[in-house]
Amino acid sequence: MLKRFSRLSWVRWTLCWLGGFYIRLVHATSRWTVEGAGPASAFWDRREPFILAFWHSRLLMMPYIWRRGVTIKMLVSNHPDGEFIMRTVVPFGIETVRGSTSKGGVQALRLLLGLLKAGTCVGLTPDGPRGPRMRAAEGIVALAKLSGVPVIPAAYSISSALFLKSWDRFLIARPFGRGLFLWGAPIRVTRDDDTDAALSRIEQALNALTYEADRRCGLTPIEPAELVHAPGRNGAGR
């Protein structure tokens, strides 16, 4: 019955409105610092595209890392959770596209590649929507290779927070905290680069940023999930 109730359009709209209100509340009542945004700002100023990457667990406050007025298309899954994310972030100026670079991957990759070629930034959660947690899948490397644009990793944390017991250990930011947004250096992937090596570079950069943000906010950092199959990765990415 609960699932049927949640499918009602007015219920979904209300939940998304409440989600957006909560994000604004947390941002307005907390003290935020942004570090390392120089490279991203340079791309924005030159109106050049890049691929924004952050872990799925850090979705909640990420709309506030982005410069207002600069278009970004965030890839969200076709899962019902993707619809909730899509409806919630639209008021923050974040546009979305539906799809997955692992399930029906070719279509999603073509869509994102077309956006990048047209000069539009795109955003991905390389471990979403299914995991494993904090492990990058191959879709982001394929997109970087084909487009020729860099991946710029980012993370956030906040001193007042709660980690959910979900697959990604989703971080729920709470009001009246001390928040930190961290940008990493651009990561360029050439067509000749080894895929696993490129994945490791992206993964290590994201994990280092996330670890540092958590540490500086006084949280015990979350560890990445263990890889079941190595070397190589399952799936084509998200």
**Helix, strand, or coil (residue 179):** strand
Is the Cβ–Cβ distance between 187 and 142 less than 8 Å? Answer: no
Give the right CATH number for 2-216 from 3.40.50, 3.40.1130, 2.30.30, 1.20.1270.
3.40.1130
CA distances from 238 to 8, 34, 47, 124 (A): 28, 27, 25, 7
CA distances from 167 to 132, 164, 171 (A): 8, 9, 11
Name the helix (H) or strand (E) containing 195: helix 195-216
Is the Cβ–Cβ distance between 156 and 36 less than 8 Å? Answer: no
Q: Please tell me the pTM assigned to this model.
A: 0.88
Predicted confidence pLDDT, tens digits, the chain (238 residues): 444 544 556 577 788 889 999 999 999 999 999 999 999 999 999 999 999 999 999 999 999 999 999 999 998 876 656 566 767 877 888 888 877 655 556 788 899 999 999 999 999 999 978 889 999 999 999 999 999 999 999 999 999 999 999 999 999 999 999 999 999 999 999 999 999 999 999 999 999 999 999 999 999 999 999 876 544 454 333 4
